[in-house]
Amino acid sequence: MNAGIRSALRWFAAVGFFCAACGCAQWIPETGKGTRDQVLFWFGWPLDLAAQVETRIQINRTDSGRTEKRSLGGTYTMRVEGAPEGLRVRHENFDLQPMGRETFRSSPGDALLNLGQDKNLPLAILRPDLLVNAQGDVARVLGGEGVRSDWNRILDAAEGLPSAQRASLADLFANGWLDVRATDDWNSMVAIWSGAEFEIGNPYEFDEPDGYQLGVLGKLPARGIFRARRFLPCGTPHGSIACVELELRMEVHREAATRAFARWYRDTAHTLLPGSLGPATLEKTIDFFDYREYVVLVTNPAGLIPYRLSMRRETSLGIRTAAGKVETLSEAELVETSFRYDRPL
């Protein structure tokens, strides 16, 4: 498989794949499959909300039958303060550690996880402070200048990083990548559910012709389902508040995603990564590109206070060789997060 396209998928997974952000879908219920329990979800975090957050990140990639794995575990604190425009959600005290035996081979695409000596920088980049309005939408990402400064400092100190790739990674922040990335988990945890009313057990289909922002690839058509699966205890040491388990399954239309990936590779990636194919052979080389996302959230519907969040994102890229054979490179990222609050809610 062409080394440049392999690196391009890894680069996309590290800095573009994390930028997916679901837009406002029109939910169409499949009737007759649910119960009579209707649940309204609304945003209402208290000013003194504080939590210890634990997160586990597992990345598996498969290339021509070989599987590589990386596992990380991290903690940080989350607390809420008042702000003139709404609420300020602070993230601080980051600690990120490798877990288990790692089998990754170093790649230019592993930008967020490989650059620099500060092991906590990836969490700091992915969790800046947020200003949130009364509806639960992110109004502004805060503290970006400090993170940009740290990012540029580490890029400058990185050994063996080509100047073109360094410039491109630096441009991510200048072009608003941080703002897009920082809202992703918040959207999956709060924003897309705020104001929704679901019947327990009933799947709600959605089809967005041009409303799913898939990182550096832009907006793409997507389809999937939302579902409030069941009631269950929130799992806190302070009691058993009635939470709801929510589910989102989504996939991007293959043809549109393949064209978008090829266009991004042609215009950007092939000039940044070593061993890349030139644009002239691109049409015959990229056979398909797929993206899927699966989210499970356990939350209190009265306030949308989260207790557990699981997000799995999968990409698959088909490359046609000179002999006409299609080889598949796939990457799956699973992020599991739990929230432990410092007082009864």
Where is pLDDT greater, at 73 or 184?
73
- Helices 144-157 and 177-186, interaxial angle, to 10°? 120
Give every CB contact of residue 25 below 8 A, 6+ residues apart in sequence: 192, 206, 208, 211, 226
pLDDT at residue number 18: 38
Mean pLDDT across the stretch 20-31? 42
> What is the distance between the terminal CA atoms of the chain, rounded to a whole angstrom?
53
CA-based max dimension of the chain: 63
% of the chain with per-residue pLDDT over 90: 31
The DSSP-derived string for 14-68 is HHTGGG-EE-----EE-TTSS-S-EEE-EE---TT-EEEEEEEEEEEEEETTEEE
How far is 15 from 264, CA to CA, in rounded Å? 13
Mean pLDDT across the stretch 101-130? 56
pLDDT band with cut points at 50, 70 and 90 for residue 250:
very high
pLDDT at residue number 35: 52
**48-99 residue pLDDT tens:** 899 999 999 888 888 777 888 888 888 999 999 999 889 999 988 888 777 7
3-state SS record for 115-176: CCCCCCHHHHHHCCEEEECCCCCEEEEECHHHHHHHHHHHHHHCCCCCHHHHHHHHHHHHCC
**149-179 residue pLDDT tens:** 767 776 776 666 667 667 766 666 555 666 7
> To the nearest whole number, what is the mean pLDDT of the chain?
76
What is the identity of the amino acid at 147? V
How far is 7 from 95, CA to CA, in rounded Å? 28
Mean pLDDT across the stretch 33-44? 78
Strands 302-303 and 42-43 turn out to be: parallel
The DSSP-derived string for 302-325 is EETEEEEEEEEEEEEEEEE-TTSP
How far is 261 from 17, CA to CA, in rounded Å? 11
Contact 74, 123 (CB under 8 A): yes
Contact 64, 30 (CB under 8 A): no
pLDDT above 70: residue 27: no
pLDDT at residue number 269: 56
Lookup: tokens for 69:
């794995």
pLDDT at residue number 57: 87
Strands 242-252 and 286-300 turn out to be: antiparallel
pLDDT at residue number 100: 62
Contact 320, 284 (CB under 8 A): yes
Most confident range (mean pLDDT) of 19-23, 40-44, 315-319 is 40-44
pTM greater than the 0.85 cutoff: no
Site of tokens 């504080």: 50
